[in-house]
């Protein structure tokens, strides 16, 4: 077994490396997470987007807030809301 581990150092585990990987929490706010997203207008092309968990949460919260504002306003253009120029509707 020792010979095999010396031939393949990638399979050899170091105690410090094991502790370091255990300390890395995939759900930590600063942990990096990548997702593949479809490109609008393409059936095949995808892009890889890498953000931290905190950035993904902020993006999700902003999208939910925008969707909530759209539903609450009752219109896409904002017509009829206070402070919106009615001539632009």
Q: Would the pLDDT of 41 be above 90? A: yes
pTM for this prediction: 0.55
Domain boundaries defined on the chain:
23-75
Given this model, what pLDDT does residue 21 score?
A: 47
Tell me the pLDDT tens digit for each residue of 75-88.
655 566 666 666 66
Interatomic CA distance for residues 60 and 48, integer angstroms: 17
DSSP code, position 87: G
Average pLDDT over residues 9-16: 50
> In terms of Cα–Cα distance, which of 28, 29, 47 is closest to 37?
47
Average pLDDT over residues 42-64: 96
């Amino acid at each position: 077994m020792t010979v095999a581990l010396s031939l393949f150092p990638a399979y050899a585990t170091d105690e410090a490396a094991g502790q370091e990987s255990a300390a890395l929490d995939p759900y930590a706010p600063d942990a990096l997470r990548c997702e593949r997203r479809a490109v609008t207008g393409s059936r095949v092309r995808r892009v890889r987007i890498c953000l931290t968990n905190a950035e993904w949460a902020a993006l999700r919260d902003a999208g939910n807030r925008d969707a909530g504002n759209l539903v609450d306003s009752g219109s896409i253009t904002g017509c009829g809301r206070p402070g919106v120029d009615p001539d632009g509707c």
